[in-house]
Amino acid sequence: GAGVSQSPRYKVAKRGQDVALRCDPISGHVSLFWYQQALGQGPEFLTYFQNEAQLDKSGLPSDRFFAERPEGSVSTLKIQRTQQEDSAVYLCASSPGQGPSYEQYFGPGTRLTVT
Amino acid sequence: AQTVTQSQPEMSVQEAETVTLSCTYDTSENNYYLFWYKQPPSRQMILVIRQEAYKQQNATENRFSVNFQKAAKSFSLKISDSQLGDTAMYFCAFRPDSNYQLIWGAGTKLIIKP
C-alpha cells in the first residue's frame, strides 16, 4: 500500500517568496503532523490535525507559517515571505488514531532551501 | 520544559557487534511513551521500537531492545548483531499522554563498518 507522500521533494525559494508544501497521508489516517528538521538536528513539532481540525499549532514559529487540511485528508503547509532560517526539511507524518500509542508513519520530507 | 538528550553525536562499530545508544529525558508527566526512530540516508523516518512508561518490562523487537529506567529517566537502545543496514541516524523521542507533540533528541549517527 501507499505510504505518506510529500511534494515537492526539493524546493528552492528566493527570500521573500511564498511556498506551499503538500502532504498526502495514508488513506484513512485520522491524525496528521508536520515537523521541521534543521540540518543535523532532530525534528521539531510544528502542528497537528485530527481529521480537518487543527488541534495544536503551538510549534509554528511565526505567523508566516500556516497549515490546513480542509477535507481531513491532504494537508498543505504554507510559508509566506520565506526567510533563510526557514531552510530545513519539512516532514509530514500520519497516524491511524489520535492517541500517543499509535505509530506515526513519516513521509520522505521536503527539503526547502531559501536563498 | 520537557527535553530529550542524546549525548552521543556519533558512534561506530564493526558489523556483528552489539551497540548501545543512550537517551535521557526530563518530564514531570507520569504517563508517556518513548520511541526510537531510525532515519537512513534516504531520510524516511522509521519506527524501531516503542515503550509505554507504565509497562515495567523492556520492549524488544528482534535484534533491538531497550533498557528503560523510569526513575533515572533513561531509555537506551541496544542493537545486537549489528548489520550494515543499521547505518543511520537514530532519534529518541518522547510523547506525553497529555498532548500530541513528539519531542525529539538531536540524534546519534550510527555507522556500522564491514
pLDDT digits (tens, 9 = 90+) for B33-80: 999 999 998 768 999 999 999 888 999 999 999 999 999 999 999 999
Indicate whether A102 pLDDT > 60: yes
Contact B100 A44 (CB under 8 A): no
Å between B24 CA and nearest CA of chain A: 15
Give mean pLDDT, residues A10-17. 97
**A21, A112 Cβ separation under 8 angstroms:** yes
Contact B101 A43 (CB under 8 A): no
Give mean pLDDT, residues B85-90. 96
Indicate whether B29 pLDDT > 70: yes
**B64, B74 Cβ separation under 8 angstroms:** no
Give mean pLDDT, residues A31-50. 95
> Cβ–Cβ contacts within 10 Å for residue B93, how many?
24
| Partner residue facing B106 (CB), from A41, A100, A104 | A41
Give the pLDDT confidence score for residue A55 in this predicted structure. Answer: 94
Give mean pLDDT, residues A48-68. 95
Contact B45 A106 (CB under 8 A): yes
Percent of chain B beyond pLDDT 70? 99
Give the pLDDT confidence score for residue A16 in this predicted structure. Answer: 97
Give the pLDDT confidence score for residue A1 in this predicted structure. Answer: 56
Smallest Cα–Cα separation from B95: which of A9, A68, A98? Answer: A98
The rounded distance, in Å, linking the Cα atoms of A46 and A97 is 19
Give the pLDDT confidence score for residue A50 in this predicted structure. Answer: 95
Give mean pLDDT, residues A65-69. 97
Å between A33 CA and nearest CA of chain B: 9
Closest-CA residue in chain B for A34?
B101
Distance of CA A35 to the CA centre of its chain: 6
Written as nine digits, the cell of A101 is: 500509542
